[in-house]
């Protein structure tokens, strides 16, 4: 266990170190309109940043770029952020706070806006906590305005101010758009990106899609067969009349087949590095002590739940670490522990596994994965004299049978 823990810690340190050093080719434009080629640390920001880290070609030390000194920065073929002085409405969410004001409450701020669609008409987005605001500019204008959308309450009823549709009709109407089309546009990236692209196309210009609609979290289902290398031991009291000593009985180690069905929910945050896992798994362990004094027959479906961290090597290959909590709840199949006394009488106890933990790491390639996993020891019985301590090490092979990944 100590060796495995050391290996896992070293793995995390190494992958995190590589992650810290991973800068991607990009640029920024300073207030003097100088375009500077550099390497930019891609943090895959969930919310719009106010600063970023970069490295210059002749200087390995990272430096900071700020709103006060940078007009624009980006990573090629990934994203572009534009610094802009804009009026933004940060009105509270009426679902949590009662708001009866229909009109936006404007505040002048300098922000890094993420460019979603480039062209004659440009679409930007700003996200902060649970707030999402879209901005636009037309015909290369320097003025960037917010598309207005606000939810508020009238007599405790939720009402929506959808003035952004009037803005689209007034400033971004094109011959292929009807009033009905604009009425059906929702205040989200997908609908707005589609409309801005159609506007640019109708004006004879191909939109440059700097950053497409953010990819969504997704579900994977995997078959996870494998092999368990299991062992167990038990301390049993011997003697009488107060002269009792405990003898350790080691059960014969063996290898058995295991099979599971893993459901993995991969979060889009931080470039799909984190996931939660639920893996119902059939496990079994049948063994006896060398003297056949004790016998274990353990067959059960366990229900581990855990978390996984991915480190992306390339588009198809990822390393990962995961940890599981294995609850004591399990579907047992006539599992029992038997102890043969000197009198010839057998003591039999049904197994009742306690909760424990599991830790592992492996590699994921396209639809396949391979993992080494260690399970901490767990008790198999409530009986005071029939309480084997069971542990195992597993090699798990995964095969993806279903995914909602886009």
Does 72 reside within a domain? no
Where do the H-state alpha helices sit in 85-244?
163-171, 179-183, 189-202
Same domain for 258 and 386, yes or no, is yes
Comparing C-alpha atoms, which of 251, 220, 218 is closest to residue 234? 251
Q: Angle at the Cα of 373 (from 356 to 284), degrees rounded to 5?
A: 65
Considering the domain boundaries, does residue 49 fall inside one?
no
> Torsion angle, CA of 315/318/323/329, rounded to 10 degrees?
70
pLDDT value at position 386?
A: 64
Q: Based on the fold, state whether residues 171 and 266 are members of the same structural domain.
A: no
Q: Please report the pLDDT score of residue 300 as a whole number.
A: 86
Query: Are residues 385 and 241 part of one domain?
Result: yes
Tell me, yes or no, whether 30 lies in a domain: no
Residue 209 lies in a domain: no
Domain match, 242 and 376 both: yes
Contact of 33 with 71, CB cutoff 8 Å: yes
DSSP string for residues in 328-359: S-EEESS-EEEEE-TTS-EEEEE--PPPEEEE
Boundary residue ending a domain (154, 178, 202): 202
Q: Which of 203, 148, 194 is nearest to 175 (CA)?
A: 203
Nearest residue to 388 via CA among 230, 234, 229, 231: 234
The verdict on residue 363 lying in a domain is: yes
Q: What is the CATH number of the domain that holds 253?
A: 2.40.160.20
pLDDT given at position 211: 47
First to last CA, the chain: 39
Residue 20 lies in a domain: no
User: Contact 221/405 with Cβ under 8 angstroms?
Assistant: no
Domain contains 346: yes
Query: In angstroms, rounded to a whole number, what is the distance separating the alpha carbons of residues 33 and 69?
Result: 10
**401-404, long-range: CB < 8 A, 24+ apart:** 401/221, 401/222, 401/223, 402/219, 402/220, 402/221, 403/218, 403/219, 403/220, 403/221, 404/218, 404/219
Are both 180 and 257 inside the same structural domain? no
In a domain, 142, yes or no: yes
Instruction: Kindly state whether residues 339 and 191 are assigned to the same domain.
Output: no
Tally of domains in the chain: 2
229 and 363 in a common domain: yes
Dihedral over alpha carbons 398, 399, 405, 406 (to 10 degrees): 140
Whether residue 230 sits in one domain with residue 180: no
Q: How far apart are CA 65 and CA 23, in angstroms?
A: 14
Profile the chain (406 residues) by mean pLDDT over runs of 10 residues.
Answer: 50 49 86 94 88 90 94 91 95 65 92 94 91 92 91 85 95 90 94 94 71 71 96 72 68 92 90 92 83 76 94 87 90 73 60 87 95 92 72 96 89
**65 touches 96 (CB < 8 A):** no
Of 108, 94, 212, which is closest to residue 155 (Cα–Cα)? 94
- Give dist(CA 185, CA 187) in Å, integer: 7
For residue 68, give both structure tokens.
């006060």
Query: CA–CA separation, 160 vs 175, rounded Å?
Result: 27
- At 209 the pLDDT is 53
Range of the domain at 242: 218-403
Residues 306 and 240 occupy one common structural domain? yes
Look up tokens 């399970």; give the residue: 375
Query: Considering Cα of 340, then 346, then 347, then 349, what sign does the dihedral take?
Result: positive
Whether the CB-CB separation of 197 and 206 falls below 8 Å is answered with no
């Amino acid at each position: 266990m100590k060796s495995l823990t050391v290996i896992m810690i070293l793995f995390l340190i190494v992958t995190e170190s590589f992650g810290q050093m991973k800068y991607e080719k990009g640029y920024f434009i300073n207030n003097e309109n100088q375009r500077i080629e550099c390497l930019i640390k891609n943090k895959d920001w969930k919310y719009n940043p106010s600063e970023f880290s970069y490295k210059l070609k002749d200087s390995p030390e990272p430096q900071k770029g700020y709103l006060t000194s940078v007009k624009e920065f980006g990573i090629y073929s990934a994203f572009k952020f534009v610094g802009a002085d804009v009026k933004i409405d940060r009105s509270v969410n009426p679902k949590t706070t009662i708001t009866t004001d229909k009109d936006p409450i404007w505040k002048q701020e300098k922000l890094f806006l993420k460019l979603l669609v480039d062209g004659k008409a440009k679409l930007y987005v700003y996200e902060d906590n649970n707030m999402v605001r879209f901005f636009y500019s037309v015909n290369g204008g320097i003025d960037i305005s917010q598309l207005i959308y606000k939810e508020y309450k009238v007599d405790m009823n939720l009402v929506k101010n959808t003035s952004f549709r009037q803005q689209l009709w007034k400033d971004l109407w094109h011959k292929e758009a009807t009033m009905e089309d604009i009425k059906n546009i929702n205040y989200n990236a997908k609908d707005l990106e589609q409309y801005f692209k159609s506007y640019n196309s109708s004006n004879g210009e191909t939109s440059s899609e700097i950053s497409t609609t953010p990819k969504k979290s997704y579900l994977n289902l995997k078959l996870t067969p494998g092999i368990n290398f299991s062992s167990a031991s038990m301390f049993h009291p011997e003697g009488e009349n107060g002269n009792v000593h405990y003898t350790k009985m080691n059960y014969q180690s063996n290898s058995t087949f295991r099979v599971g069905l893993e459901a993995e929910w991969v979060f889009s945050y931080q470039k799909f590095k984190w996931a939660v896992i639920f893996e119902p798994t059939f496990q079994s362990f049948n063994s006896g002590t060398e003297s056949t004094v004790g016998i274990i027959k353990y067959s059960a479906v366990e229900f581990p739940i855990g978390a996984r961290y991915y480190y992306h090597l390339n588009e198809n290959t990822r390393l990962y670490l995961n940890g599981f909590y294995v609850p004591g709840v399990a579907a047992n199949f006539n599992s029992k522990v038997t102890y043969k006394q000197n009198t010839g009488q057998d003591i039999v106890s049904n197994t009742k596994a306690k909760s424990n933990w599991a830790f592992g790491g492996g590699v994921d390639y396209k639809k396949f994965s391979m993992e080494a996993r260690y399970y901490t020891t767990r008790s198999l019985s409530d009986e005071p004299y029939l309480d084997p301590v069971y542990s195992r090490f597993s090699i798990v092979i995964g095969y993806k049978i279903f995914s909602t990944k886009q």
